[in-house]
Structures are given as C-alpha cells and as structure tokens.
Structure 1
Amino acid sequence: ENPEYRFRNRSFSGQYNALLAFYGGWLRERAGERGLPFADQWAPMNEHTFVQRRSEPDFSLVPDAIHPAPAGHFLMAFELLSQVNPDRKSVSSISVVPGAKDWRTSPEVSNLVVSDAKDHVTLTHLAKSLPWVVPSKAWKVDGKWDAEPDATVGYRMTVAGHKLSNERIKVAGLIPGNYELKIDGENVGTFSHLALSSKVELQSNEKTPQYQQALAVAELNRERNDVAIRPLRDAWAGIKGLR
C-alpha cells in the first residue's frame, strides 16, 4: 500500500472497471436514440493499458484510479478526435516524381527546381496547419496531480502524429546517395535516395521549424492552464466544497 496515495482512505469496488464498460454501453445506446455522436473512451484506455502491461506490469494511465495522467488525457483527446472523423488527417503531403517529359509534383508546391544531374531539388511549400506537438511535461508549476506517464507517452502509444497530423515528403528519381533535407535553411536530417523515394515522415522531427512553432504554441497553452485555468478551477472547487 502506498502511504502517499491521496485516496487511500477510500474503498473501490473490484468490479468498477466492468461497471464503466456497462455504463459506456448504456451511453452509446442513449446517444443513438438521440441522434448524438458518441466517442468510446473505455475500450481504448483498457486496450493500451493491457498492451503496455505486457512489458511494464505496473503501468497505468490512471495512476490514482480516478484522474487520468497526462498520457491518459492525451489518449482521450486522440480518441475523441479520431472517432468523430476529422476533416483533415494530414498536415502536408509533398511529392516530386519524374514524369514522361517533366517532373510532377503536388498542387501545393511551387518554384520546383530539379538539377540536371538529379542530385539537388528545391521547392516552395506552405502548409495549412502545424503538426500536433505536445510538451514533454504537462505543467511547469508543481501540482498535486500525477505527472506521469506524460503526454508524449500517449502520443507514441496512439501513433497520433502519423494518424492525425501526418507530414510526409517523397522525392523519387534522384541519383543514388544520401541527401540533406533542409526546411527554411535548417538541416532536419540526412536521408538516402531510397528513403526519399518511398517517403519520409516529418511530424515528429524536432528539428523542423514547424515542429518548433507548434511546440511554442503548445507551451503557451500550457502556461495558460498553469496561470489562469487551473487556479480558477481550484477556486471554483473550493467554493463548491463549502456547500
């Protein structure tokens, strides 16, 4: 028994998880009757937990048995987004391939230049959005809630970047060799002509300018939660507790 467990004085039914399954089924039926969308959180939370426990027996997305940790919150957000069928599941898809007479590329690409030696390519592309990036820590201030497992664990478990925030580039027809990939002048990696001719995914590449931009936005949102949202919520909870 963990003496630091905040809810050690409370008792929990051993059938609580099964109860949640039945409750989720009931909610699905009610949603169907009312013509409302429904997102199942119970099955994914259990599935990912059971899979992770094969290698980490004590793993939990809900460490205190009540409140999801940041990884659990991320998983819930991912499932909510994926189950309601988002309009866009990719950030960008760049393709440069040789055609019968000239090089063919994606409609969003402009200023394409391929060297005569087929060993150098430049192009212009402006994505319509940023990749989905989460900070490694859910908050910068000390909190009473469990901070582990962190949100990046949920990101990896769900393969969220690939599924809902995909950035890929494909360049075929280059002469054999290794190539530096630069974005806005920044070297984001070296890839073989074979890798480039298949595809290279960039959404989780921390070196890209767009990843750093997205991270800065996520950190601003984290600061908003730390400075404004969470203190206000705690104040409301204190007032509620007086009743």
Structure 2
Amino acid sequence: MEALWMKDMQNLMVEEDPTQTVIRCDWKQGAAWHISILQTAATTQSVGEWLGDVAKKIKVKKPGIKIHGVGHSLGAHLLGKAGRSSGVFSRITGLDPAGPDFEEPDGARDKMLSKSDAEFVDVIHTNGYDEGFWPNFYPVNHFGTLIPLGDVDFYPNYGTEQPGCSGIGGSHSRVLDYYNYTIKHPGVLTTNQVLDGTPGYEKPVKKTKRGRPAEMGYYCKRGYNGLYYISLAPEQIPLKYK
C-alpha cells in the first residue's frame, strides 16, 4: 500500500494550487530499512538517476515548468541524485534526510543531498540524534542526520527527539506531520531563532541566537539561508504519520 503521507501531501498541494501537477514516486520496496541499510543507500543512486531522466523529459516538453521535489529519509538523497544528474530542479525539500551509512566519517557523504542539487534546497531535521534511546533491532540511535545539507536547514526541537513521539521511528516520521501541516497553514511555522553553531555527526547544537525570520515547510522560499531552530509541542500539530 502506498504511503498515506504521500497521498495526503498530493491532495493538500492540489487543493492549494489546482494548476500544478503532482507526481508521486513510491519506491518502498527498494527503500525498506530491513533489507540492508547499505543496499537501500545504494539504491537511492540508481532510482535517483532514473527520476532525473524523467524530470529532464518533462522539462524538455515544458521548458518553463518549475520542478519541486519533496523526499523523506532516503528519498531526500534520491532526489539529490536526481537533481545532480538532471540539473532541472528548481527546488528540493529534504524531510529528515537519512543519516546511517551516509553521515559517518567513512560513509557515503558524497551521495547525500546537497544545496548544489537544485536552485534552492531546504531541509527539515527531526531525528538526527537521540542520546537516550538505543533500539534492539537497529544498530543506530537515529534515522535522520544533523549535518546541514541545504541552503536553509530547520531543526525543530534541535533536530533530535520530537516531543510526543515514540522512539526514533516516531521522531523520524514526525517531519511528515510538520510539512503537511504547513501546506494549509502559511506563516505559522516562522522563526527568527538560529542555531549558535553548526551541528555535526552525532553533535547537536542546543544554543540559539536571533536571526532573520524564515518560514519552515511548504512556503519556504529562495533567499532563506542558515540553520534555524523552532520549538514545537505535540499539541500544536496532530500526530498522524507514526
């Protein structure tokens, strides 16, 4: 069954702007973590190249079209590859881009989403580190990454554990609630708090200072840059995609 968040996102986007075309790419068979983190990380590159070819064909038929890709977890890096190989994406949004096998010092950092993959890249981090939770099934304590990857990166609750969520999987999926919520609520998730430092692999920054306002989510726009913090409580945005 196709992911509910993707269907919801498509419906919300079309409701906001009926003139746009939304294409879903569901590759859950290749993205399943239980197969092998190494294998799924490698698959992002082959599927990403295929998607880049599709994007180029669309651009040839409609030269003036603006292509915006939104990807969650491994899907964010897949879109990075699509953007690098095609050169036609106006914007790429990474929703808690995957960390394991990519972010480690000896990992595949060159295959991660990068701000050079599109004209504008915005990223939301929700599960880059969880110092108090070590699962039995996975040899990691987070599914996302703290490493800045975009022109602008947002770190709700410092990009670590998300309040109200159960374990690392809940925090990793919480970004889907945040992003879909912004489609119908422009301006609500705007912040002028920036991180006072740069997060790294398993090194969160939990200090902030005041900066220029920036809006997280669907209405994020070109011109924003920096590392932003926003405090979000469970009661502000319903938990749906657990």
Is TM-score (shorter-chain normalized) higher than 0.5? no
Q: How does the TM-score come out when normalised to structure 1?
A: 0.23
Q: Which has the higher helix share?
A: 1
Q: How does the TM-score come out when normalised to structure 2?
A: 0.23
- Larger radius of gyration between Structure 1 and Structure 2: 1
